[in-house]
Amino acid sequence: MSAMPAITYNFAYLDEQTKRMIRRAILKAIAVPGYQVPFAAREMPMPYGWGTGGVQVTAAVLGRDDVLKVIDQGADDTTNAVAIRGFFEKTARVATTTSTREATVIQTRHRVPETPLREDQILVYQVPIPEPLRFLEPRETETRQLHALAEYGLMHVKLYEDIARHGHIATTYAYPVEVAGRYVMDPSPIPKFDNPKMDDCPALQLFGAGREKRIYAIPPHTKVRSLDFEDHPFRVQRFAKPCALCAATGVYLDEVILDDKGGRMFVCSDTDYCNTRQEEGHRGEMSGASPSRQPFPPRGEGAEGGALHLSPPGRDRSEAAGEGASGGEVRP
């Protein structure tokens, strides 16, 4: 048998015409911040829901000198992240990294990195359902009309229902935002903790939805406002304890169940951020090395109790025992 010729891919898998088509959609999306631009999404060698939209946007913006980072729920080492990183290593031969600082293009699913982004970076979000009004108004013709006329009362009906049922706005992810004072946009299923990071962000933020065939964008330094009520203002989750591994506070934490006796720990969702801090010598209460008595005093809300207590109720903490414990929102 003669040897099969090695498969050669065009740079970043998609053909040049497709990439031009996607870039045109991206340019339009940047010109009209928050507006969902339809595009002819291609079949990608991965199932819908795995980031086909994000991958196409990444492929269209990727250059040979770019350094790519892929985040899946904050982690660099989970299936989705590893697979997509491998995909572009193979098809574009670009350098990849897990470091937020080194990356120039970051494709993400469900998180915005904790490390502040810079002007020379692009953040690409994977979006499952781009239409923020979808579950309130099933008709696409009608939602387009509502966007066109900026009729967003319906979005507040959803928030109203949250307060009526739960006493506070219980939407914790995919929390709707208003972009540049005009379009209401679904920020993809990032925790609402990350919403403030989108506001006035120096990096370009692109959103790709493969199944729904939509691209939208937030240009650098654009105002992004989370919707709320005057008497129920937008608030992010707060955590009672710092990260158990790196003692970071004011970051988004994941709850990890340790045993069947109620043991649990809260650790940074952003693995790169956590690792970097640990390399810098920060130690949390459960990091393998002997805890060096909190090298840096924890700052910010809910942290003053110290790391070794299991979230005792404090002054402003009674309702905020961490995301996993109570929904994690402090109300007046």
Partner 1 sequence: MTNPIATDDAPLLVAEGLGKNYGARIGCRDVSLEVYPGEVLAVVGESGSGKSTLLGLLSTELAPTAGCVSYRMRDGRLADLATLGPAERRLLMRTDWGFVRQNPADGLRMAVSAGGNVGERLMAVGWRHYGNIRDEAIDWLGRVEIASDRIDDDPRAFSGGMRQRLQIARNLVTRPRLVFMDEPTGGLDVSVQARLLDLIRGLVSELGLAVIIVTHDLAVARLLSHRMVVMRQGRVIETGLTDQVLDDPREPYTQLLVSSVLAA
Give me the active site residues, please: 34, 243, 246, 268, 274
Strands 122-126, 183-185: pairing is unpaired
CA distance 209 to 207: 7
State which residue, 45 or 153, has the beta carbon closest to partner 1. 153
Count Cβ atoms below 10 Å from residue 14 Cβ, excluding itself: 21
Stretch in the footprint of partner 1 (CB under 8 A) among 26-34, 175-183, 224-232, 316-324: 224-232
Q: Which residue, chain included where needed, has tokens 């250059």?
A: 63
Cα–Cα–Cα angle for 273, 275, 278, rounded to 5 degrees: 110
**Binding-site residue total for partner 1 (CB under 8 A)?**
17
DSSP letter assigned to residue 192: G
CB of 154 vs partner 1, minimal distance in Å: 7
List the interface residues with partner 1, window 124-153 (CB under 8 A).
136, 145, 149, 151, 153
> What are the strands, taking DSSP E only, across the chain?
37-38, 67-72, 95-96, 105-109, 122-126, 177-179, 183-185, 204-209, 214-218, 224-226, 253-257, 264-268
Question: Residue 107 CB, nearest distance to partner 1 (Å)?
Answer: 35
Q: Which of 43, 65, 230, 259 binds partner 1 (CB under 8 A)?
A: 230
Q: Which residue from 48, 160, 173, 296 is in contact with partner 1, where contact means CB under 8 A? A: 160
163 interacts with partner 1 by CB under 8 A: yes
- Helix (H) / strand (E) containing 161: helix 153-166
User: Binding to partner 1 by residue 232, rule CB under 8 A?
Assistant: yes
- Residue 165 in the binding site for partner 1 (CB under 8 A): yes
Footprint of partner 1 (CB under 8 A)? 136, 145, 149, 151, 153-154, 156-157, 160-161, 163-165, 229-232
